[in-house]
Amino acid sequence: MLTKKKKRWDDIPGCSLEAALNVIGGKWKGVFLFHLLDGTMRFNELSRLAQGASPRLIVKQLRELEEDGLVNRKVYAVVPPKVEYSLTEEGHSLHNILHALSEWGDLWVDNHPVEPVTKP
């Protein structure tokens, strides 16, 4: 039997905001969740969203989202293999937050242009 790993936010007792950020704050989790709002996606589609990320990381992020109850993983017993990812109801409950974050980030990026690295 499996020995359950401690949750990643165990050491932040009582802080629900930190818990939320830990759940959605992984490198690509926000992106995945956001795009999954529009419907199910396959592994390769998600990979394309995470340009340059190795499969290892993509799998890890998806597995954590699954463990945390935000994402469903449905495996079809066909060949070639087919796996579909979709949001659980809990995942969909992030809809407003994800859109708010996206809009806020949009404004923020506009107001904070990336300055070209100044020559010494």
Partner DNA sequence: CGGTATCCTGGGAGATACTG
Partner DNA sequence: CAGTATCTCCCAGGATACCG
Q: Which partner from the list DNA, a second copy, none does 54 bind, CB cut-off 5 to 8 Å by kind? A: DNA
Min. distance of Cβ 69 from DNA in angstroms? 18
Question: Edge-to-edge strands of the sheet including 71-76?
Answer: 41-42, 82-87, 71-76
Q: How far apart are CA 67 and CA 10, in angstroms?
A: 15
Min. distance of Cβ 12 from DNA in angstroms? 9
Stretch that binds DNA, among 14-22, 39-47, 88-96, 110-118 (CB under 7 A): 39-47
The amino acid at residue 86 is S
Could you give the string, one character per residue 90-109, with x where binding to DNA holds by CB under 7 A and - elsewhere?
--------------------
Q: Are strands 82-87 and 41-42 parallel, antiparallel or unpaired?
A: antiparallel
Does 69 sit near DNA (CB under 7 A)?
Answer: no
Cis omega (within 30 of 0) for bond into 80: yes
Does 56 sit near DNA (CB under 7 A)?
Answer: yes
Min. distance of Cβ 28 from a second copy in angstroms? 8
Q: How far apart are CA 66 and CA 85, in angstroms?
A: 9
Does 82 sit near DNA (CB under 7 A)?
Answer: yes
Return the bridge partners of 42, or none.
84
Q: Which partner from the list a second copy, DNA, none does 78 bind, CB cut-off 5 to 8 Å by kind? A: none
